A and B are shown apart, each in its own frame.
Chain A
Amino acid sequence: MANFVFWLIVGLTIGSAILVVQSKKLVYSAYALLFTLLGVTGLYVFLWADFLAVVQVVVYVGGILILIIFGIMLTNKITSVNISNTSVQKSIGSIVLLVFIAGLGFMVYKTPWVSVANSEPAQTTETIGRLLMIDYLLPFEVASLLLLGALIAATTLSRKDD
C-alpha cells in the first residue's frame, strides 16, 4: 500500500512538473506547480521530514505560489484568458534535458551510495530547533538579515516613484 502511494506521489510530482514547463497557458503552469509542490511535500513525509513537509506547504504553497499567481495577474490584463507562455529553443532545451537526465541518472545509478541503518525519529522539530539555536546560530541570523533585506528591497522596488 505504502509502495503504491509512493509511486502515485512520484507520478503526480513528475507529471505536473512536465506540465509546468510544457503548458501553453501560464495560469495552468502555476496550478501545475501547486501539484508539484504538494507531491514533493508527500516525498518529504516519506523521508521522515514532517516539520519540513509542513514548512513546505506553508511557505511554498501558501506564500511563493500565491506570489507567483499575483505576479501573473499583475503583469497581464486580467481579462485576457489566453495568457501566452510560448517556448523557444525547444531543440536545445530538449538536448540539455536528455543529457542532464542521462548523465546525472547514470551517476546516481553507478555510485555505490553508503546506506546507514537508521530508525524513524520520534520527532524532528526539537532536533531542528536545537541545531538552529546552537550549531547553526550564525547562518540563522544571516538568514534573518537576508529576509529583512529582501523585504525592504521588494517594497522599495515595487513602490511607485512620487
Chain B
Amino acid sequence: MDSLNNYLFVSVILFSLGLFGVITRRNGVAVLMGVELILNAANLNFLAFARFGGMNMAGHVYALFVIVLAAAEAAVALAIIINIFNNYKTINIDEVSELKQ
C-alpha cells in the first residue's frame, strides 16, 4: 500500500473507465457520471504525488480547486440537461443535434 504505483494504477483504471463511460453512454446524466470518474482519477493523482513527493501541500490545494470546478460543472450541466429534456422530451444526446428547435 505504501507505493506510488498502486495509487497511480487505480487512477489509470478510474480514468479509463470514465472515458469508456463517456464514449459508450448515450444518456446525458450517465455521461456526466463518466466525467466525475475522470475528475476523481485526476484528484487521486494530485494527492498521490503530494504524498510521495515530500508532502508538498500544493497538490492538496489543486485537488480542492478540482472539487470546486466539479461542483460548478455538475450544477450547470444538470441545468442544461433538464432544459434539453424540457425541449426534446429525451436526454439521449445523439438525438439532440440541433442548435434551435
Contact = CB atoms under 8 A, between A and B. Distances in A.
Contacts of A29: 30, 33
A67 B71 CA distance: 9
Interface string A34-78: 001100100110111101100110011001100110111011000
B55 A52 contact: no
A44 B40 CA distance: 11
Contacts of A6: 1, 6
B22 to A, nearest CB: 9
Given A26-B30, A115-B4, A146 B67 contact: no
A136 B87 CA distance: 42
A71 B13 CA distance: 26
Chain A interface helix/strand/loop/mixed: helix
Chain B interface helix/strand/loop/mixed: helix
Interface string B58-97: 1011011101111111111011111101000001001000
B15 A96 contact: no
Interface in A92-112: 92-94, 96-97, 100-101, 104-105, 108-109
A147 B6 CA distance: 34
Contact of B36 (A44, A47, A64, A93): A64
Nearest to B45: A108
Contact of A146 (B32, B44, B50, B72): B72
A92 B18 CA distance: 14
A109 B12 CA distance: 11
Interface in A1-24: 2-3, 6-7, 10, 13-14, 17-18, 20-21
A88 interface: yes
Contacts of A68: 29, 32-33, 36, 74, 78
Interface of B: 1, 4-10, 12-21, 23-30, 32-34, 36-37, 40, 43-44, 47-48, 50-55, 57-58, 60-61, 63-65, 67-76, 78-83, 85, 91, 94
12 contacts: A2-B1, A6-B1, A21-B18, A26-B30, A47-B7, A47-B47, A67-B78, A68-B78, A96-B16, A113-B5, A116-B53, A143-B68
